[in-house]
Amino acid sequence: MEALKKNPAWKGRKGPLVLVIMDGVGYGKYKEGDAVADSKMYHLDAIKAKSPNTRLKAHGKAVGLPSDDDMGNSEVGHNAMGCGRVFNQGAALASNSIATGAMWNGQAWKDAAATKGTLHFLGLFSDGNVHSHIDHLKAMIIRAKQDGVKRVRVHTLFDGRDVGETSALDYVVPFEAFLKELSGDGFDARIGSGGGRMWITMDRYGADWEMVHRGWETHVHGKARQFATTQEAVETYRKEIPGVIDQDLKEFVIAENGKPIGTIEDGDSVVYFNFRGDRALEITAAFESDNFDHFDRGRRPTVCYAGMMEYDGDAHVPKRYLVSPPSIDRTLGEYLAASGVRTLAISETQKFGHVTYFFNGNRTGKFDERLENYVEIKSDLVPFEQRPWMKCAEITDYVLEAVSSGEYDFIRLNFPNGDMVGHTGVYQAVVCSMESMDLQIGRLARAVKEAGGIMLITADHGNSDDMFEHNKKTGEVARKVDGSPKAKTSHSLNPVPCIVYDCDYQGEYESTLVENLGISSIAAACINLLGLVPPSDYDPSIVNMK
């Protein structure tokens, strides 16, 4: 990797460049339900009023997803910001692999479909297209029957975050009709177990291994509350836990005559059909790792395990995968390391992997140990609506010292509040999270100004800007029986902020930022603001240098 060339006309600033990623913060389309606009963001508003700013695209094709109807997410958003170009991402790659038949010709699928036992499909059960898509699952079940598999069991992780918060039965009922129609003539396909994605299986970054433990006991051993049907399980939990949303539904198994119908046994195959990696690594480790000490797995079945994609390209996890991930090279981090730029990346546990692994093009580890420092602030293990400020103050505390120390040229940080609290659907908590984050942005602005640096403020996608369900045609808020707004817990399709706070600006670049760009243009902007010249094939910078 060659070092970036220096800009002879401008060497950058005395202080560091601080990239602030406000996770899940966009510009709302509707006034009602826009918790960002409804919050008292005094510091951010003041910075924006006197700084060059624009709006960036953070969804759909701008971040490598199949269409502009697809919501952006933190994984693809950080990929785009960190690599400076748009790569086709998991959803598009998986869909294309199925459409072309490449998946069925791959060795991983052939191995999984060769089972003489049961072929199990485990993953997020929705069409949110952020972690998975139910159409991929259906295509694989149809193909499994064609390939001679006799028995299929599906382990459903209910969504309620990337789709409607209580939409589980909208997927369950037609899916079970699909399975019933497909079954027969020696083929038996049924749902075997399930639960909410934030209660079982889909933990990430080691935040709460007990989630994975509950999932393991449910899917593998069949140790959970028994029901005759999935619909019965969902309806029962909703009656017993008033206000519960899909992502928090308790674990269950489907049983006949007191015996679970979907336990995972020796000789079976398991396909984890999520294409996104962050919430796939822990359950994958439970199936694949010989040296595993996060919980007692009890009986560990010998199975043929495959992921939808390779979730960790450096560690080559999982051993089998159905679709190859995008091959991302020459990232911003790699260029900066080659150019001698001293870098700090920091967030709390919930987004630590985003400012490191995803930002670096799905690469674990550092490019240069001497130049890079990665800091993880441990997240609280409580529901986010109970601590909506999360760890934004602790993140800021560390960054303030880093700014004043003079040890770093480039600092990137992620405030998770807008995304993680936004997913709860609790409006008051989201407003609290925004105002808590705004206080920290004010602290950062003062420190950056004093150090003679620049602060570039942006986001990876929208979420908190769109907290209520709206009628797409009329724009009216959807309401519950009691008249209250129906909460929206998924990401938005809205643009995100891009603000350059540079108190020592003296005309080195245009005072108006370039418009109509995507967040992939952040990488070139960072290089510009560090006094370097971006690679020629990077997407255009939002900063137009003179």
> What are residue 153's DSSP bridge partners?
120, 190
* Least confident stretch, 137-151, 225-239, 365-379, 463-477: 463-477
Boundaries of CATH 3.40.1450.10 in the chain?
A: 91-323
In this structure, the chain runs to a length of 546
Other residues' Cβ atoms within 10 Å of the Cβ of residue 3: 13
Examine the pLDDT at 49 and tell me if it is beyond 60. Answer: yes
Percent of the chain scored above 90 by pLDDT?
88
Q: Is the pLDDT reported for residue 260 higher than 70? A: yes
Cα gap 497→494, rounded to integer Å: 10
Q: What's the CA gap between 99 and 22, in Å, rounded?
A: 36
Q: Which residues contact 530 (CB under 8 A, 6 or more apart)?
A: 12, 17, 336, 341, 409, 410
Arithmetic mean of pLDDT over the chain: 95
- d(CA 208, CA 84) in angstroms, rounded, equals 32
Q: Indicate whether 473 pLDDT > 90.
A: no
Q: What are the CA-CA distances from residue 85 to residues 15, 80, 321, 473 (Å)? A: 27, 6, 25, 34
Under CATH, what is the fold of the domain 17-86+327-529?
A: Alkaline Phosphatase, subunit A (3.40.720)
How much of the chain exceeds pLDDT 70, in percent?
A: 100
Residue 8 pLDDT exceeds 90: yes
Structural contact between residues 252 and 227, judged by C-beta atoms closer than 8 angstroms: yes
CA dist 105 and 101 (Å) reads 7
Q: Provide mean pLDDT across the span 425-435.
A: 97
Digit-coded pLDDT (tens) for 164-211: 999 999 999 999 999 999 999 999 999 999 999 999 999 987 889 999
Segment 324-367, tens digit of pLDDT: 877 899 999 999 999 999 999 999 999 999 999 999 998 889 99
**CATH top-level class of 91-323:** alpha beta
Sheet strand arrangement including 372-377: 372-377, 343-348, 410-415, 17-22, 454-458, 496-501, 53-57, 517-518
Q: What is the pLDDT of residue 471?
A: 87
pLDDT at 376 over 70: yes
Catalytic residue status for 67: no
| pLDDT bracket for residue 393 (50, 70, 90) | very high
Average pLDDT over residues 46-52: 97
User: In angstroms, rounded to a whole number, what is the distance separating the alpha carbons of residues 483 and 479?
Assistant: 5
- Give the C-alpha separation, 259 to 253, whole Å: 9
**Residue 397: CB partners within 8 Å, gap ≥ 6?**
none
* CA–CA gap between residue 189 and residue 231 (Å, rounded): 16
C-alpha–C-alpha distance, residues 303 and 284, integer Å: 12
Q: Given this model, what pLDDT does residue 313 score?
A: 61
- Over its C-alpha atoms, the chain yields an Rg (Å, rounded) of 24
Q: Which of 39, 51, 67, 74 is catalytic?
A: 74
pLDDT for the residue numbered 349: 96
pLDDT at 314: 56
**443 vs 88 pLDDT, higher one:** 443
507-531 pLDDT, tens digit each: 999 999 999 999 999 999 999 999 9
Neighbours of 386 (CB within 10 A): 11
